[in-house]
Chains A and B, each alone.
Chain A
Amino acid sequence: MVMKSHKKVKELTGGKIQLTEGALYPTLHALEAQGILTTEVVNVGNRLRKYYTVTSSGKLMADEKVNEFSDFMNTMIFLLDLKPKMGKA
């Protein structure tokens, strides 16, 4: 659920990345339009709730992006001669 994601991001980054509660919706809608996410709308009493699921092509794309980013980070670490405290490099 989207509501929980904000808290998780805040927890995982030790408060360094703080999203506003509405920050994810534009991206979620765009990802849905691109077919990376599918949604399921469920009736919960007096309103509707939307559940987002990553599609199989979305998962592939996510892996690809994560790899790309990790490559980029490794290159940067190498180029800037950083001594990382975490990660594989």
Chain B
Amino acid sequence: MIQLSHEQVAFILEDLKANGIHSEELQLSLLDHICCMIEEEMTPEQDFVNFYQKVVPRFFKRDLREIQEETDLLLTFKHYYAMKKVMLISGTFTAFLFVIGAFFKSMHWPGASFFIVISITVLSFLFLPILFVFKAREVSAKRDIITIGIATVFGILISLSALFKIMHWPGANVMWLSSLGILFFLFLPIFFFGGIRNAETKVNTIVSSILILVACGILFSLTSLRNSKWTDESIHHIDDLLQSSAQLSNEVKPSSIAKDSASIQMIHESSNIICQNIKLVKDHLISKIPTNELGLKEGELIRIYGENLETPYETLFNEAGKPIQGLVSLKQELKSYEKLIKRQTGMVSIPFLETKDTHRYGDPQEELLTWEETNFSHVTLAVLLRNLNLLMLNVRMVEKISTNS
């Protein structure tokens, strides 16, 4: 058995370093192993360098570097199983908690926010980052790792923006829009063009891209970033009415009071009929709320179903978009009430009793809306009930002013 010299040992060490074995521990192990093999198998006549080059390939399948890579992988990923467990547990926990939170939220039970905040926080800062680590390990191309990274950032941002939106925290819209920006301008192009080049992944890539686009489109349209134009218009209308009521209540003159007791009686009767009518419309509307089996009062209904948009329209307008009889007769009563008041008191203008058609936003360029449409169509339950209540208040105020009661 031969004995390798210092120079020969140094030669092997340098070669190991040059071939990607960078950790000292591994150099030490491999060096001794190679030296032992050479010392055991080489005869004194054989050339050291030649023999070394024959021995080394017995250490690997592809190249020496693979030993180092495998070692690094095992060392950095020794928590693989623990991480996998954490990922699965946190994922299940998140899904479970989120469903509970959403259910609590829809039932207006206390604790909904707690469940939602915890579940989305765990999702964004534990589950998704670990998922990224695992998914990134499955692919080797840098491009794929970047795609997965962008998808993770998108996922985190969109969950956080949903959280901020649900909790009414500031910055939700900015986050939501920037996550959509990342999706449309970064993730989808890289994912789509990367995937369709490969015949194997082409169909899957196209289908996934379509699904992602559709899902985000639905999310985007559901998360209305602002009120509908009808709701906006209706709220402006209420503001106008309030303002004119306030103005009128301040400008009462003795001349605007009805003179004889017969006309005062007429005004009282007419007011009562209108308020009765308004109450009938309200009762009809409330009875049509599909989930109101509990017989909730108006205030509770607004709190729970205030955002309901469908029921008011379906209840107060028929399939052809025409208002129901209750609204039509209310409009007629208001018209005659307005005439009666003007005749009896000499008031020139009572804006909140007017029932004529108006242009949307008060802009002549916009479409002409009937009084029923302006006040009662395409608005949420809360806005609608507010309109009816305001109308009732105004009728009563005019009654008080004009009869000095």
Contacts and interface: CB of A to CB of B under 8 A. Distances in A.
Interface of A: 1-3, 20-23, 25-30, 33-34, 41, 44-50
Contacts of B4: 46
Given A3-B36, A26-B74, A30-B75, A21 B28 contact: no
Given A29-B74, A46-B4, A46-B5, A21 B58 contact: yes
B42 interface: no
A29 to B, nearest CB: 5
A2 B67 contact: no
B303 to A, nearest CB: 57
Interface of B: 3-6, 9, 23, 25-26, 28-33, 35-37, 58-61, 64, 66-67, 70-71, 73-75, 78
Interface-centre pick from B29, B35, B60 (highest chain A CB count, 10 A):
B29
Of all A-B residue pairs in the complex, the 3 with the closest CB atoms, nearest first, are A30-B74, A22-B59, A26-B70
Given A21-B59, A22-B30, A47 B37 contact: no
A7 to B, nearest CB: 11
B30 to A, nearest CB: 7
Contacts of B73: 26
A50 B33 CA distance: 10
23 contacts: A2-B29, A2-B33, A20-B60, A21-B33, A21-B59, A22-B33, A25-B30, A25-B71, A26-B73, A26-B74, A27-B74, A29-B23, A29-B25, A29-B71, A29-B74, A29-B75, A30-B71, A30-B74, A33-B75, A44-B32, A46-B4, A46-B6, A50-B28
A48 B32 contact: yes
Contact of B67 (A25, A33, A48, A49): A25
Given A20-B59, A21-B37, A22-B59, A50 B78 contact: no
Majority-rule SS of B interface residues: helix
Given A25-B71, A30-B75, 9 more contacts: A3-B37, A22-B30, A22-B64, A23-B67, A25-B30, A29-B74, A30-B74, A33-B75, A50-B29
Nearest to B73: A26
Contacts of A23: 67
B339 to A, nearest CB: 91
A29 B5 CA distance: 28
A28 to B, nearest CB: 7
A44 B9 CA distance: 12
A25 B29 CA distance: 8
Contact of A48 (B5, B28, B64, B71): B28
A71 B74 CA distance: 26
Nearest to A48: B28
A5 to B, nearest CB: 11
Contacts of A20: 58-61
Contacts of B71: 25-26, 29-30
B386 to A, nearest CB: 67
Contacts of A21: 33, 37, 58-59
A49 B191 CA distance: 50
B48 to A, nearest CB: 14
Contacts of A3: 33, 36-37
A44 B70 CA distance: 27
Nearest to A22: B59
A41 B37 CA distance: 19
A41 B61 CA distance: 28
Contact of A28 (B29, B36, B66): B29
Contacts of A41: 28
B115 to A, nearest CB: 37
Contacts of A28: 29
A28 B73 CA distance: 13
B25 to A, nearest CB: 6
A3 B59 CA distance: 11
A47 B31 contact: yes
